[in-house]
Every structure is written in structure tokens, then in C-alpha cells.
Amino acid sequence: MIATINPATNEKLQVFEPLSVAELDLRIARAWAAFLTYRRTSLAERAACMVRAAEILESEKQRFGRLMTLEMGKPLKSAAEEAAKCALGCRYYAENAGRFLADEPVDAGAAASFIRYQPIGPVLAVMPWNFPFWQVFRFLAPALMAGNVGLLKHSSNVPQCALAIEDIVRRAGFPADVFQTLLIGSELVPRVIDDRRVKAVTLTGSEPAGRKVASQAAGQIKKTVLELGGSDPFIVMPGADLDLAVATGVQARLVNNGQSCIAAKRFIVDQRIAAGFESRFVAAMEGVRVGDPMEEATQLGPLATGAILEELHRQVERSVAMGARILTGGHRLDRPGNYYAPTVLTDIPAASPAYCEEFFGPVAILFRVDGADEAIRIANDTAFGLGASVWTNDVVERERFINEIESGLVFVNGMVASDPRLPFGGVKNSGYGRELGADGIREFVNVKTVVVKS
């Protein structure tokens, strides 16, 4: 079902009719026809449209924020900030795509030799609900600036966000069909991937979804970029600013109601400061204001769906049954909607869900360790490798963590976040490829070698 269901109340607000197979095929045909013309537009033309998209996002960020909050429950303030961040991404690629895609001369002993970056065609983006605008725009902006066209299969619980993004692109002046939202279920995604006119796929989502899409695309010899789950470590060493680490840690665990791949999930604390960190961290989690995400003062809203709430609680219950200890929370909140109490678990058994799985909600997992060696071992003892936050003022420790933690991002004395200027992506089961930065715009281009002998 493709529908808007308010996660704060579980009220079904609007249901959308999915595209038929014939309608889907027509959309793909229109995307291909659009590409044949759009690939010849100048970077200046594309940039002008991209700047207009940024202006729309900035001027209407409150409206877009309310739409995000209505469909997936994030606090309104952070939702409006998400729309503004999308504008920042649009402006970044409008300003820098020319530099990233410029011909690169190479001295190869010929009259001329260089590398040229050219668009490849329609790219399918399979996107998640948790950052319903930002996840799309961090694909959309570089893809369209490179001369590709986009087909969006968004999560079925954020259809109004998906349609709003398509409308922004249209209002910004991009040619017709350069970016289209496909209101389809997951069962039709293989059909899109198999279509010869669709040249590549990018997916942000779960590990099982990534495996399925990547396997399908591999069968057609099509490139994929995957940004999957994460179980990010948040390591705190004795030299850290403890108050700042606690305050940032709570924010990093509860960002987006705890539903972020790069949220801090495993708090790995040196035993010399663990008691002080634990008491302050638990108190701060207990002081979080839970409520209606439309209210400005709310810090933690509902989980996006009832199924996510049920799965999170099952993970907590299984972990406790295996020996984990609840320091606070560990239960649903008795109110309408998909609310879960801010939770801290410790004494984590090695085989429990809390040790092995990604928790997508406001549950922090606390480990005590004996020094940097054990911190690195536990940080790396996961199938995931997306981000990591390290808190230390010791230069030697810092270099060890940067070099030895297996992740795509390491932030020192700060919270992990995405930034249009920096490549974003993971290793291990967190996926492959990169979004954002120069790497992001070059993922879906033909890197063409040109040699002119005379």
C-alpha cells in the first residue's frame, strides 16, 4: 500500500493508486527520451535550474518540513532543517559540477590525451523514508548536474514527499521528465532495473534490500551504489570533554528519532570514566522531551511505522532475555502513535541482538572497555562499517582510531553527519560507492579516455 499514515496517531490520511505496468513503461520511455535531449544541455543551464530548486527549498522549508513530519514523524524543526540542507546540496553542485566534470589532461605521449566525464542515462534511485528529502536530493543534485535523468522509487510511506520533490524539479525549470517519481511497490523494481534504458541504480536502505537490488542489477551488468545500515560506534576515552561527549552522544543517538544509519548506536567508553559517563548519559536520556513532532519543543517523536516499533521492542526484549541490563526505558510509551521510550542497555552479551544487529530507534547500547585496544576491537566487531565518532584529545589515540576503525567516516570530537562537500558511504555490509563530494557526481558517469595522436 502506498499511503500517508501519520505515525504520531496512526491515522491513515491519504492512499495513492500505484502505477500500472503500462504506465510504468511509459514513464521509463519518457525518461529515455528526455535524456537524449537533456544530455546536450550546458552546465550553465543545469546550474540555473538547480539554483532555482535551492531557492524553492529555502523559501518553502517550513511547508516541506511539515510534510516530512506528517508522513514519517521527525520533529518539525529538524524536518525544516532537512529541506534547507537539500538547498545547500543543490547550490554546492550547481557551483562545483563544472570543476568536477571538466576534462582532465593526462600526459600520455600523444598530441592530446585527456579524461572526459559524460552522463550515462536514466538512473533509478530507490530511497528510504527516514530522510525523505535529503536522501533524494543528495542523489538528484549530482545526477542532474552530470546530465543524467532520475527515476525515483521512494518508500511507500512517504508518497507526498516523493511527489513534492518531483514538483520542485518541475518548478525549478528542468525539462519535462528529467526527474520522475514512480509510485510503485517493491515488486516492480526488478522490472525497472531490467529495462535496458535504465543504466544504473542507487539504493539507500536495509541490507536485505541492498542485496536484492544489487543482485538484480548485476544480472544486467549495471552499476549500483549502496548505502545500507550502520551500527556506528561512539568511543569515549579518558582525555575527552565528558560533558560535551554526553550531550553530543544523546543528540547523536536520538537524531531523526533514532532512525538514522549514521546515528551513534554503540557507546564504547573507557572504564576509567565509564561510571561518570553512564550516570550523566542516562540522566540526559531520561530528560528528553518526547511528544508531538509538530510541536517546536519536542526532541523525540514517534517511530515511522508500527512495524519498526514492534521490531525494536523485540530486539530489546531478546537482548534482555539473553542477559543485557536496562538502565532506563525499554518499553513502548502508553499513548497513541509509535512512541518508544529513550532506552539505554548495558552488559551486552556477545550473541545478543544488541551486540550484532542495528537498532533503528532510540536505544543506546553501552560498553565498558579497558583502553584503546579493546575499544577498537569492539568497534570493528560488527558486520557494518558506515560511520564512527571518537572522543579523545590524545594525538596518538586519535591517529590509531582514524587508521584502525573499519568505517567510511570517522569524526573526532564531533557527531557523524553528512555534508555535500565530503564523500559519504561505508564499507563491509554498509555498502559500497560514494555519494556527495566529487566522488558522488562521478559515480554515474562514463569516465572516457580520449587520446588524439595527431
Residues assigned a catalytic role: 227, 261
Whole-angstrom distance, CA of residue 68 vs CA of residue 106: 46
Alpha-carbon span 67 to 159, nearest angstrom: 10
SS3 for the chain is CEEEEECCCCEEEEEECCCCHHHHHHHHHHHHHHHHHHCCCCHHHHHHHHHHHHHHHHHCHHHHHHHHHHHHCCCHHHHHHHHHHHHHHHHHHHHHHHHHHCCEECCCCCCEEEEEEEECCEEEEECCCCCCCHHHHHHHHHHHHCCCEEEEECCCCCHHHHHHHHHHHHHCCCCCCCEEECCCCHHHHHHHHHCCCCCEEEEECCHHHHHHHHHHHHHCCCEEEEECCCCEEEEECCCCCHHHHHHHHHHHHHHHHHCCCCCEEEEEEECCCHHHHHHHHHHHHHCCCECCCCCCCCCECCCCCHHHHHHHHHHHHHHHHCCCEEEECCCECCCCCCCECCEEEECCCCCCHHHHCCCCCCEEEEEEECCHHHHHHHHHCCCCCCEEEEECCCHHHHHHHHHHCCCCEEEECCCCCCCCCCCECCCHHHEECCECHHHHHHCCEEEEEEEECC
Is residue 71 within 8 Å of residue 158, measured between CB atoms? yes
Q: Amino acid identity of 377?
A: R
Q: Mutual orientation of helices 76-101 and 61-72 as an angle, nearest 10°?
A: 110
